[in-house]
Amino acid sequence: MGAIREVEVPETLDHFQASRYSPYHFFTAAEWAKFRADTPLTLTEDDINRLRSIDDPINLDEVRRIYLSLSRLLSAHVESSQMLFNQRNQFLSLSDAVKTPFVIGIAGSVAVGKSTTARILKELLARWPSSPKVDLVTTDGFLYPNAILKARGLMARKGFPESYNTGALLRFLSDIKAGLPNVKAPRYSHSVYDVLPDEHTIVDRPDILIFEGVNVLQSRHLPAGGKIVPIVSDFFDFSIYIDADEHLIHKWYVERFLRLRQTAFRDPQAYFNRYASISVEEAVSVAEGLWHNTNLKNLRQNILPTRPRADLILQKGENHTVEKVALRKL
């Protein structure tokens, strides 16, 4: 890790909480759980087993503690957004304005549990009494295909901001926010480790869109002269960052790699199939190399610095459950 320590690591969430200038309210998991009020639990244990990732031990107790309160909070934000939409239309005397989706961005490191959080939120939100249409899209499909990454020498930086087709990302979100029908999102296969050519997910005017990816809160350098330079998070109505101490994410990443070696990597068509037959010691060495040479650098340089831009931060502890919640003040 010697070469990586030269990268400055942002302050911990504990230090952020201690600052008198913090823009967040902070809650323990027990305090946060009380905000559930009478929000009903609409998921079953079978639902959780279907929705969680292979390395995520989330259960119904965690959903009760954390996600029901979050669902209630998001419900309030969606209702307020719809109310503001109607008020603005009255103010501007608009009669033909198209209601646009409420977009929720979810960011965080690899192996921290973003995918599980996104899927559980999608199910909870879709089961509100109003039965909203909820879609989920990940940024993986907007990665450049491997052929382009190899040509540009970026395969070792896959997942870094420069490995994404930012123009396609922004066009997709712009079309979503314009209320256009049947917007296409490219699809990605984790098995073949590449974008699937000519395969798309169709997003047709949902009430809520969850947009998940490691760098969705990434900002960019601003040009002189006030030129409009949009960023992905400009299109978000609410953003969530899934957080954990670096040593925990490191541990979870290696553990996930070893589990995948026994499962998904055994598919003969899998990109990482070559790692299915090596020894445990060799597999650990490979996972450690991928972590230190790619994922840790991305976390320190690009992902973690975006944490303070989130509206809500879920900080996980040793057993992958949320221990603290930070909610941005209004």
The Cα 253–Cα 255 span in angstroms is 5
Q: How far is CA 74 from CA 47, 81, 144, in A?
A: 21, 10, 32
Q: Is 108 annotated to bind ligand?
A: yes
If you average pLDDT over residues 136-157, what whole number do you get?
97
Cβ neighbourhood burial of 289 (10 Å; 0-12, 13-18, 19+): exposed
Q: Is 297 annotated to bind ligand?
A: no
Token couple for 153: 């020498």
Mean per-residue pLDDT of the chain: 92
Confidence band for 20, pLDDT divided at 50, 70 and 90: confident
pLDDT tens by residue, 62-103 = 999 999 999 999 999 999 999 999 999 999 998 888 889 999
pTM, rounded to two decimals: 0.93
Q: How far is CA 23 from CA 20, 246, 307, 308, 315, in A?
A: 9, 23, 12, 9, 16
Residue with token string 């790692």: 275
Token couple for 116: 């599980």
The Cα 67–Cα 88 span in angstroms is 31
Return contacts of 98-101, CB within 8 angstroms, 24+ apart.
Answer: 98/178, 98/179, 99/179, 100/176, 100/177, 100/178, 100/179, 101/135, 101/176, 101/177, 101/179, 101/205, 101/206, 101/207, 101/208, 101/209
Phi, psi (deg, nearest 5) at residue 57: -90, 20
Q: What angle (nearest 5°) sits at the alpha carbon of residue 112, between those of residues 304 and 72?
A: 95
Q: Is 317 annotated to bind ligand?
A: no
Q: Is 184 annotated to bind ligand?
A: no
Q: Is 111 annotated to bind ligand?
A: yes
Return the pLDDT at 220.
80
pLDDT at residue 5 tops 60: no
Q: Delineate the domains of the chain, giving CATH numbers in brackets.
A: 13-218+227-328 (3.40.50.300)
Return the pLDDT at 173.
97
Residues in the chain: 330
Q: Is 112 annotated to bind ligand?
A: yes
Return the pLDDT at 271.
94
pLDDT tens by residue, 235-272 = 999 999 999 999 999 999 999 999 999 999 999 999 99
Q: Is 225 annotated to bind ligand?
A: no
Of 179, 112, 90, 104, which Cα lies nearest the Cα of 136? Answer: 104
β-sheet bridge partners, residue 137: 211
Q: Going by DSSP bridges, is the β-strand pair 322-328/194-203 parallel, antiparallel, or unpaired?
A: unpaired
Helices (H), 152-210: 166-177
